[in-house]
Amino acid sequence: MIDTVNVKGITIGEGRPKLIVPIAESMQSNVLEKARELSTRKDVDVVELRLDPLDSVADTLSIARLTSQVYDIIASKVLLVTFRTKPEGGKKAIADADYCALYQQILTYGKTDLLDIEMFRNQVLVHKLVAHAHEIGVGIVMSSHDFEQTPPQEEMIRRLRLQQEMGADVLKIAAMPKNAGDVLALMNATWEMHSKYAKKPLLTMSMGGTGVVSRLTGELTGSALAFGMVGQSSAPGQVEAHNLHQVLDIIHQASAS
């Protein structure tokens, strides 16, 4: 039985996979403009605010205030705040202590519904962030990204199970395929995790053009969320949000018939 995540009337973990669209701008003014655009989109369920592309990311109090502004602008949509580190495909490298300090500032002075925490950061700091977030009602997306390869199926399941043990509310893994077999391995790992071990919703994807099918078939395999794009993509293989929403709806309606 999956413990769904319920935020602002949006239920993650049942029904059609919920659609996430990232904001990945370098200037705060552009972030706010993009937030206003996404706030009017009926096909967007979750807005991801990516912090690592921002020029001003070192000013942690300013970033915390920015999360509050975006939170207020998108209103009824779920806000996911993410600093994607360079080793996992992000724009900037950051020390674990600075990563934790930034997130603590956001949890103390900002606003968000969900916070993405990379599972392989310093474990003591990760534990503190998870505890702080849960104390104030913020959900955790625990994540692992491999832009070089697709780990063996057993390793992907191991990571997802470990994320669950670490207190995640959503379990995330993204991997780069070398061929169609890698895509199927990720989809099989998702289904095995979902059907045997998962108590929390999953967010999995095979990246790049080769892996695009994994973004479309989450309702079949058990992935509860899917990334689409409006304008600039934040990862290889993202599909335009309107088109992705249509496909997710088609599969959902066919599955229910």
**Span 157-181, average pLDDT:** 98
- The Cβ of residue 65 has, within 10 Å, a number of other Cβ atoms equal to 17
Name the H helices within 77-135.
96-109, 123-135
pLDDT at 178 over 80: yes
Residue bearing tokens 């606003």: 111
Average of per-residue pLDDT values in the chain:
95
With 80 as the cut, is the pLDDT of residue 257 above it? no
- pLDDT digit string, tens, across residues 77-101: 999 999 999 999 999 999 999 999 9
Statement: residue 61 has pLDDT above 70: yes
Q: Which residues are catalytic?
A: 145, 172
Please tell me the class of the 5-250 domain.
Answer: alpha beta
If you average pLDDT over residues 38-58, what whole number do you get?
95
Residues pairing with 149 in the sheet = none
How long, in residues, is the chain? 257
Q: How far apart are the C-alpha atoms of 215 and 107, rounded to whole Å?
A: 30
Domain residue limits, the chain: 5-250
Backbone torsions φ then ψ of 107, nearest 5 degrees: -65, -30
Side-chain-side CA neighbours of 7 within 13 Å: the count stands at 23
pLDDT at position 238 = 73
Query: What integer pLDDT is reported at residue 133 of this predicted model?
Result: 98
**Residue-wise pLDDT tens digits, 17-45:** 999 999 999 999 999 999 999 999 999 99
Q: Read off the pLDDT of each residue in 126-152 and give the average, rounded to a whole number.
A: 97
Token pair for residue 50? 């990516």
pLDDT of residue 233: 63
Query: What does the pLDDT average to over 179-191?
Result: 98
pTM of this structure:
0.96
